Amino acid sequence: MKKIAITLICSATLISGCANMDNTQQRTLSGAGIGAVVGGVGTAIFHGNPLWGAVGGAAIGAASGYAYDAYKKHEAAEYNSGYNAGKNSQKSNSNSNSNNNSSGN
């Protein structure tokens, strides 16, 4: 029971410590944390050394979190580019339509 309480307290402290981080830092740290837990539990289940499993899992998780962040940034940039292109296209179409309507009168 003590181990569970300590784990919960440590987890809450780590989560609240992420408040001042940017998205890249949060995603990298989250990936490292999740990877450490999965690696530690996985090696413990298969009778390996949980410490090395946690270290390896944290490294892989951090790299995965960073790669996910890069993907999300690229996705957002493409969305914004398309949105701005559509917005500019609507402006130019409405300007040409208003010019056509005024010249036709």
Q: Identify the residue whose tokens are 């029971």.
A: 1
Residue 100 binned pLDDT confidence (cut-offs 50, 70, 90):
low
Hey, where are the domains in the chain?
Answer: 22-104
- Residues 7-51 pLDDT 10s: 777 777 766 766 788 888 888 888 998 899 889 888 888 888 888
d(CA 78, CA 99): 31
pLDDT at 9: 78
Distance separating alpha carbons of residues 38 and 11, to the nearest angstrom: 15
